Structure 1
């Protein structure tokens, strides 16, 4: 069972931490963006596991509003194996690529007026190991499971907060999309319990203030079917593309509807993050990663959890706050299925099914429950709704995080 987005708000609690090994750098400018960055960007690595042999890479954007008080969000991307950069550049981050026909030169970056960093600080983390710029220093460290990945996310957050103690008192949320509907509630339960699944914890710091189908594009049924979202590098810029139903590669001759699709936009991240100037600006460790891929296929990763229902039950009894939303044109995780497992929780309805509005138009439908759970659909939204409905999703997020009705 999976769903599109989960953000949770918990009460203040004390958790443990072991040794602290991490590195980070401030990024003041980026190739492809004109002038200095008008927001605060930090990148770095946090070593996790006993020997720090898993190095998790992150992008951190400080809130552009009031970072001393605004929420801090730990954000993960699905797959499993898709880089957090995908959320940074295509969904809720402060920049996006100017999409146009590209001759292979470095893509242009522009500001995203609908960035969630307008009202929150966000930690975008490449997880599990092997995703994006995260890597293992040994072959064993390069392997992971659902539960190991959750443990590592928990350890990452603790160590990052120790190194960024100014965020100790901020409300902290955990969120993600797609496959992370399975892992996010587990991570929150780890934080709530104050221990890893392995049970090995020492100390009592820091304080974490977690709060309050054939021929169809199954991710967005109205869009053209243009293949996978992370094509093979050799096929990114070829003049002619073919359809292979078994491997589901890119599609058809130019010009085609796919030239203006998200697949075309995804090419730009491959160009940008495999440029030496960009890697230097982001302080990527030389030799740690070869070719960057938006979504890594064939990771030595074991999916061991298929149902996170019981984690929702456990967390709901503690009064934690949830937002779950679904694009209503997604066939991969249809909103009707999400509604079904929410209904199975058997919580009473506080605010029954109704429309919610943005800019004078119906943006979707929502219902709230007695356990502080809010469910919302995004009208016309795809599997990752902020990609094609950024205005509506930002409005939804801002209203929910400030405790306003959608």
Structure 2
């Protein structure tokens, strides 16, 4: 009888732990020499009707004044991208030492341009199936734009209730790429929840989105004009496409032979260009090799590639090569133990999980942004100006459709005496919107131009003009 009761208590404790918040302070990480110079916490929060989705997060407290500094809730795009990507490749306090890699566990170094210098940042692996997040059943992985927004709001409310000291902080949503949708939908949920009196009441100040997806068709439609503006296609080809396609380059009339021919010419001009950054190499598809521990990755999306085994002097630059270090690091057992990842819940960690059964049931987030523009929020929209995948021209188009008056005309903004990009400010009684380009930035801007993006975010969050 005693044994039975003891077993029952253990089972109930496990169920309780897995269905509620699960959090740990992480003072050290494999690959980083010595104690971490910032406060890192990892954990899980259950969402869904029965907490069947367990979402993993990384919280890094502000290295400045965590009591007074804002809290950012960051979404790295995707959907299906791990928040760890943003932590080490974009705005977090760590990055991998690519140059020093020598077939051992990748080493981590400090990022001098971490946004945690002036804000606490909450990174999330969402939805279930991204990063270390998981579901307790196969059906738990099925999700859509709208369901993901509901789960993200549930996560946020539960997380704040278990971290009451952050409820007083100014709160901002932030993200890039598909975050243009994710952030807009979650912002709408927060506004509705606050207006309905749901607890906790969130001190929602606004949001920032970079290289944002808002409406894929409209965003991608600007790729042809952008390619022409950047000198990738000739005046003749562009005028031919413009006149024959009537400005519709993504979904043209299938019976329009002239348009089809013009778009084929355009495609031939840009098919070998890296859409993430038009000046960087377009990586070839990599051959599969074994992990450094001689086992193999089960997922095709991200496998270590043979460049890691080449002598350093023979490694040709390709930005995607560095992403492999994330997979090598995150799939190391000592790393998972340090992060307090629940054993047996996730197989291979991959940066971008394409296999999640995700329904894109919100074709355009423009209407959400339009309604949010009436809620008195502060908004920052920024674009790397060398991004072909989501050109800054498409972002400016939907901003203009918001019909907000221009408060400050287009001008350069400076970092250390150099042009960091160009900015324009829009304002009415209900919204304060800043648009900024990041000169030389790609998709997404903080990865390519960290110093400039650091200065931009610091100034904007401090209500200081860019």
Equivalence map 1:341-360=2 (5 Å):
341-360=398-417
How far is the alpha carbon of 1:129 from its aligned partner?
1.3
Alignment-derived partner of residue 170 in structure 1? 169
- Tell whether the 8 Å contact from 2:289 to 2:303 is kept in structure 1 after alignment: no
Query: Which contiguous aligned blocks of 4+ residues in structure 1 show a shift greater than 6 angstroms?
Result: 247-258
| CA distance in structure 1 between the partners assigned to 2:278 and 2:36 by the alignment | 36
Q: Which runs of 5+ in 2 are unaligned?
A: 1-18, 207-269, 293-300
List per-residue Cα deviations over 1:338-360 (Å, max 9, x = no partner): 11111111111000100000011
For residue 102 of structure 1, give the secondary structure of its aligned residue in structure 2.
Answer: coil
Pair 1:352–1:227, CA change in 2 (3 A): farther
- Tell whether the 8 Å contact from 1:227 to 1:248 is kept in structure 2 after alignment: no
> Is residue 2:354 matched to residue 1:297?
yes
Alignment-derived partner of residue 367 in structure 2? 310
- Tell whether the 8 Å contact from 1:182 to 1:306 is kept in structure 2 after alignment: no
Quick check: which has more Rg, 1 or 2? 2
| CA distance in structure 1 between the partners assigned to 2:333 and 2:157 by the alignment | 31
- Tell whether the 8 Å contact from 1:54 to 1:141 is kept in structure 2 after alignment: yes
| CA distance in structure 1 between the partners assigned to 2:116 and 2:442 by the alignment | 22
Q: Which protein has greater RCO, CA pairs closer than 8 Å, 6+ apart?
A: 1
Pair 1:192–1:404, CA change in 2 (3 A): same
Aligned counterpart in structure 1 of residue 450 of structure 2, from 385, 390, 400: 390
| CA distance in structure 2 between the partners assigned to 1:137 and 1:284 by the alignment | 15
> Is residue 2:77 matched to residue 1:47?
no
Aligned residues: 372
For residue 207 of structure 1, give the secondary structure of its aligned residue in structure 2.
Answer: coil
For residue 321 of structure 1, give the secondary structure of its aligned residue in structure 2.
Answer: strand
Q: Which runs of 5+ in 1 are unaligned?
A: 1-19, 238-246
Aligned-residue RMSD, C-alpha: 2.5
How far is the alpha carbon of 1:150 from its aligned partner?
0.8
List per-residue Cα deviations over 1:8-36 (Å, max 9, x = no partner): xxxxxxxxxxxx82110000000011111
TM-score by length of 1: 0.87
In terms of fraction of residues, the more helix-rich structure is 2
For residue 332 of structure 1, give the secondary structure of its aligned residue in structure 2.
Answer: coil
TM-score by length of 2: 0.76
Alignment-derived partner of residue 159 in structure 2? 160
How far is the alpha carbon of 1:102 from its aligned partner?
3.3
Aligned counterpart in structure 2 of residue 365 of structure 1, from 403, 422, 426: 422
Pair 1:289–1:346, CA change in 2 (3 A): same
Alignment-derived partner of residue 57 in structure 1? 56
Equivalence map 1:8-87=2 (5 Å):
21-87=20-86
- Tell whether the 8 Å contact from 2:281 to 2:318 is kept in structure 1 after alignment: yes
List per-residue Cα deviations over 1:329-384 (Å, max 9, x = no partner): 00000001111111111111000100000011001000000130000000000011
